[in-house]
Amino acid sequence: MHSAVVGFGLGFLVAVQLGPMSLFLIRSTLRGGWRLGLAIGAGIALIDGLYATAGAAGAAPLLAIGPTRVVIGLIGAGVLLWLGARTLYSAFRVRTGGELESEVATPRRAFLTSMAGTASNPATVLSWAAIFAAATAAGAARSAGGAALLVAGVALGSFTWYVVLSTGIVGVRGAIGERTTRIIDVAAGLGLLAFGGALAWSTAQER
């Protein structure tokens, strides 16, 4: 139980940090509602759990291989840049109401997009590998059972934060007008482009 609690705390606290997928979730929940936010949160939490598992299994050295790290990094940058450009396009569209039906993502598409965006950042698995090393040293994952509980806790903690975030956004959604929503779209789009550009730059520097 101690391992699960530690994992939950780690997953929750890591998820709280503002990142590209958090921006994606905030913007998408404002536009599409609670179910869309939950789908994105579930996709992020699933990848966090899988990467935590990879970190526990010692898979991090695979990313030390130059070509592998570069390819994954460039894919990740491409995904973030695409999301950013699409969000900015949406923000500058002239609307009198909500989005066109063709522009509203389904929960399934949002889930898959959040998985791709989270999985294609090679720094994620390295971060979880470091976290697992610290947790193991502290006695939270010294056995196979402890490691499994830690991983489950990470995924649950991560998902819990995104449930809280999505619920909070839905709570204020009614008080936010279309103009404010477009401003948030612009901020989210620029943030995604910045994260994507930074990832592309750091990946290019490693070549």
Q: What is the pLDDT of residues 30-73, one digit of tens each?
A: 888 899 999 999 999 998 888 777 766 665 555 555 565 666 66
Q: How far is residue 138's CA from residue 38's CA, in Å, rounded to a whole number?
A: 32
At 23 the pLDDT is 86
Helix (H) or strand (E) holding 60: none
Q: How far is residue 127's CA from residue 192's CA, in Å, rounded to a whole number?
A: 20
Please list the alpha-helical segments (H only) found in the chain: 2-16, 20-32, 34-56, 66-92, 107-119, 122-137, 144-173, 178-205
At 95 the pLDDT is 43
At 93 the pLDDT is 59
DSSP 183: H
* pTM to 2 decimal places: 0.73
Q: How far is residue 178's CA from residue 95's CA, in Å, rounded to a whole number?
A: 9
| Residue 11 CB neighbours (<10 A) | 28
Tens-digit pLDDT profile for residues 91-136: 665 443 344 344 446 888 889 888 888 877 666 666 666 666 666 5
Q: At what angle do helices 34-56 and 144-173 cross, to 10 degrees?
A: 160
At 39 the pLDDT is 93
At 37 the pLDDT is 92
Q: How many domains does the chain have?
A: 1
Residue 166 pLDDT > 90, yes or no?
Answer: yes
Q: At what angle do helices 122-137 and 2-16 cross, to 10 degrees?
A: 140
At 99 the pLDDT is 42
Better pLDDT: 152 or 71: 152
Tokens of 140: 């939270």
Residues 117 and 83 sit within 8 Å (Cβ to Cβ): yes
Q: Which domain covers residue 61, as residue numbers?
A: 2-205
Q: How far is residue 12's CA from residue 28's CA, in Å, rounded to a whole number?
A: 21
Tens-digit pLDDT profile for residues 6-30: 778 888 888 888 888 888 898 889 8
